[in-house]
Amino acid sequence: MLYHLLYPLKTVFGGFNVFRYITFRTIFAIITALLISLAVGSWFIRKLKDMQIGQYIREDGPQSHHSKTGTPTMGGLMIIFAIVATCLLWTDLANPYVWLLVMVALGFGAIGFWDDYLKVIKKQNRGLTGRQKLAAQTAVGLAAALWLYFLPGLGTTLTVPFFKQVNPDLGWLFIPFAVFVIVGAANAVNLTDGLDGLAIGPVTIAAGFYMIFAYLAGNVKVAAYLQIPYVRGVGEVSIFLGALVGAGVGFLWFNSYPAQVFMGDVGALALGGILGTVALATKQEILLAIVGGLFVVEALSVILQVGFFKVSNGRRIFRMAPLHHHFELKGWPEPKIIVRFWIISIVLGLLSLSALKLR
């Protein structure tokens, strides 16, 4: 909105020319989303308490978590609000990638909201069934995949990290591949959301690195120099991700140990869906497995645990899955697990950044 209102006034006052720069608007998107989160956070948490929207803790979870029962949840609504409000202020609203990401955030957020609503308000402990959640997620993922597939200039080739000349063209298979990436990312982030600040930290870190990738992919000269795919218009995604980073840091203010609020499925599914969609839009799809390696490991720990349990007559690989619960049961303090997982996320992000040149 500010871009459309103020940038045309550059002929009246030259200072308004700064609104053309993605870097300028990204910086102020980060600041704006952070301030929105901090401004509404305390009020929002009080409202959740007044409405008695508290976290339900599973009986089969770690015993140390039972003290968290009743902590306000569905804080992801605050994150989504900060992101969308900030994007309306700072992005080019004619950019299709911006509206795609807004659609994904609201779509996956709605699924998570309904699941949280059933569990927390309706007291249906399981919420939506697995099939219901997967069907709804696939529908939103398919809509995003078709949007990307028919978007002019994006293409259906894949970028393979560390290899310059390996760019397989998936053709129409790009659609199911895109659905898998988006839905997989959404569920991987959701599985990671089990400790105070554990999910929002790595999500914010991954968004920060993809903010760089989006800017580079949207700059024709830099993309040519780095020999990465140039995607016209995708640079505007940097501003959206800047909003996510600001909103994430603002939410972490309240979600850090000991948490005053949890994001719930409404936040975890929305943020994961955004990361998957951004990876596809920037043509760095496979790199998401490195940037979001922590989420991949958490998801794999659950898959391996369930699979091994079924084929080995009740034996387990980990003491409990997802993986962060395994370390809890080994006696690691919760803050230590959280910070170490953040450190791993930063290292993986730096490794992914090196892939842009080591090819």
Instruction: Transcribe 324-336 into DSSP letters.
Output: HHHHHHTT--HHH
CB atoms within 10 A of CB 11: 8
Does pLDDT of 281 surpass 90?
yes
Could you tell me the two tokens for 259? 């948490």
Does pLDDT of 59 surpass 70?
no
Does pLDDT of 100 surpass 90?
yes
Does pLDDT of 259 surpass 60?
yes
Termini Cα distance of the chain? 39
* pLDDT 10s digits, 3-32: 777 666 676 776 777 888 999 999 999 999
**Residue 102: which pLDDT band, with cuts at 50, 70 and 90?**
very high
Domain ranges of the chain: 2-354
Residue 67 is predicted with a pLDDT of: 62
In this predicted model, which residue has the larger pLDDT, 220 or 314?
Answer: 220
Residue 153 is predicted with a pLDDT of: 84
DSSP state of 164: S
Is residue 247 a contact partner of residue 67, using CB atoms and an 8 Å limit?
Answer: no
3-state helix, strand, coil in the chain (%, to 5): 70, 0, 30
Q: Choose among 242, 244, 239, 230: nearest CA to 274.
A: 244
**Residue 163: which pLDDT band, with cuts at 50, 70 and 90?**
confident
Residue 126 is predicted with a pLDDT of: 72
Residue 312 is predicted with a pLDDT of: 86
Residue 13 is predicted with a pLDDT of: 73
d(CA 261, CA 263): 7
**Residue 216: which pLDDT band, with cuts at 50, 70 and 90?**
very high
Instruction: Identify residue 246 by its one-letter amino acid code.
Output: G
Residue 52 is predicted with a pLDDT of: 81
Does pLDDT of 114 surpass 80?
yes
Residue 66 is predicted with a pLDDT of: 54
d(CA 76, CA 255): 11
Q: What is the pTM of this model?
A: 0.93
In this predicted model, which residue has the larger pLDDT, 120 or 232?
Answer: 232
Residue 124 is predicted with a pLDDT of: 63
Burial class (CB in 10 A: 0-12, 13-18, 19+), 286: middle
Residue 134 is predicted with a pLDDT of: 95
Instruction: Identify residue 279 by its one-letter amino acid code.
Output: A
**Residue 167: which pLDDT band, with cuts at 50, 70 and 90?**
confident
Residue 62 is predicted with a pLDDT of: 65
Is residue 250 a contact partner of residue 33, using CB atoms and an 8 Å limit?
Answer: yes
Residue 346 is predicted with a pLDDT of: 97
Is residue 237 a contact partner of residue 219, using CB atoms and an 8 Å limit?
Answer: no
Residue 65 is predicted with a pLDDT of: 61
Q: Choose among 214, 195, 226, 193: nearest CA to 288.
A: 214
Average pLDDT estimate for 26-47: 96
Is residue 130 a contact partner of residue 140, using CB atoms and an 8 Å limit?
Answer: no
Residue 337 is predicted with a pLDDT of: 95
Residue 1 is predicted with a pLDDT of: 72
Q: How large is the C-alpha radius of gyration of the chain?
A: 20
Say which range, 82-91, 117-126, 249-258, 270-279, has the weakest mean pLDDT.
117-126
d(CA 140, CA 273): 9
Is residue 209 a contact partner of residue 161, using CB atoms and an 8 Å limit?
Answer: no
Residue 20 is predicted with a pLDDT of: 86
